[in-house]
Structure 1
Amino acid sequence: MVEAVVLASKSPRRAELLQQIGLRFEVMAADIDETPAASEDAQQYVRRMATEKAMAVVALAPNRAVLAADTSVIVDGEILGKPENRRHAETMLNLLSGRSHQVMTAVALYADGQLRQALSVTEVNFAVLSSAQISAYLATGEADDKAGSYGIQGAAGYFVQHLAGSYSGVVGLPLYETAALLSEAGIGLE
């Protein structure tokens, strides 16, 4: 029996997704600097963040399988991370209103001395949002800790006109890619 995987994230959404697929895990959040490098594109950034989160926890839990992920919202090549405050969240939602954007989630799994990675890229089209809709959404507090200032699994779900890709990847952990990495490492799901 494989010892429980360590999830290098304090995200309740990632934990819920792992529970959904029956993975035994424990949580040990990674504390890293999440500032994008000057010359880094979005794909490089999410891959680096997922890897750094995994390796930070590997240092604390050696000889354990460690799973980490990083999600970013990208519009016009710009990485939209978590908002600094409500005004910043409002600016991001106005930028996404009536437009298409990408959500990239990189997954990193360190197991048996090997680092494996996967990347999920999802196209999301938002409806045109009114100021009242944005204000009402911001009042829920859901935008406060989410990349791009929205959570598709919450009240912002009705902003989405079309999605092409992985819904769970937009939530924060693409289940297909995660399960494939776990299987490749010989870690079964219950």
Structure 2
Amino acid sequence: MSTQDTRIYLASGSPRRREILEQLGLHLERIHADIDETVRPGEDAVAYTERLAREKAEAGWKVVASCGLPERPLLAADTTVTQDGEIFGKPENADDARRMLRAFSGRSHQAITSVAVRQGDRLSVKTSVTEVFFKPLSEAEIERYIDSGEPFDKAGGYGIQGRAGVFVERINGSFTGVMGLPVHETALLLAEFGFDLP
């Protein structure tokens, strides 16, 4: 692949997504795309995550088109955590983070990441669902984790690649999907748009 082919737009401010894509050899240009992330009545976690990834890609593509930027693929993604049908977004405050971590303690939950790629009128979406098993957490462990400040910008109130990695007994699925960008699904999507990774 020539350097020219490795450039894509990224409609995400996530440092984790940027890092994963750069490790795959891609060169990224950040596109700012704001959408309403409110869950719709009756919407399940997969439908919600796929809709947000699609809407982020569409909003990002409008920015690319309105700015007259060169046409190249734009990638957007959304990660949601769910358990027993409840969607856990980013915690609003320490009490909310506490509630989430207590819910996951000693149980499994699902981390869902949907990836969308848009170029011109083409839009493709793929979704990764990973079962994450937490060990039982003591109140002291929960408080130490909240005090670290790590839970607050992450769906479900934790990041598997950070300190919360010690809470995870095992996963069934994609580690990078739990981080926020499933590499396997992302490579399949980008292949549809002419990218051969790695």
Considering the TM-score relative to the shorter chain, is it more than 0.5? yes
**Which sections of structure 2, spanning at least 5 residues, go unmatched?**
66-70
1:151 corresponds, among 159, 170, 175, to 159
* Distance in 2 (alpha carbons) for counterparts of 1:4 and 1:44: 29
Equivalent in the alignment of 2:134: 126
Q: CA RMSD in A?
A: 1.2
Q: CA deviation at 1:112?
A: 4.1
**Which sections of structure 1, spanning at least 5 residues, go unmatched?**
none
Query: One-letter code of the match for 1:173?
Result: L
| TM-score normalized by the length of structure 1 | 0.96
| TM-score normalized by the length of structure 2 | 0.93
SS in 2 for 1:61: helix
* Distance in 1 (alpha carbons) for counterparts of 2:81 and 2:116: 18
Equivalent in the alignment of 2:187: 179
1:163 corresponds, among 166, 171, 179, to 171
Report matched runs for 1:10-89 at 5 Å: 10-62=13-65, 63-89=71-97
SS in 1 for 2:5: coil
* Distance in 1 (alpha carbons) for counterparts of 2:31 and 2:154: 19
Q: Which segment is superposed worse, 120-129 or 104-113?
A: 104-113
Aligned length: 190
Structure 1 ranges of 4+ moved more than 6 A: none
2:89–2:154 Cα contact (<8 Å) kept: yes
1:8–1:53 Cα contact (<8 Å) kept: yes
Equivalent in the alignment of 1:95: 103
SS in 2 for 1:87: helix
Q: CA deviation at 1:78?
A: 0.5
Is the alpha carbon distance of 1:165 and 1:3 closer, same or farther for their aligned partners in structure 2, counting shifts above 3 Å? closer
1:58–1:64 Cα contact (<8 Å) kept: no
* Distance in 2 (alpha carbons) for counterparts of 1:30 and 1:79: 22
2:102–2:137 Cα contact (<8 Å) kept: yes
Q: CA deviation at 1:152?
A: 0.2
Query: 1:21-57 CA deviation, whole Å, 9 max, x = no partner?
Result: 1111111132111111012111100000000011111
SS in 2 for 1:2: helix
2:90–2:155 Cα contact (<8 Å) kept: yes
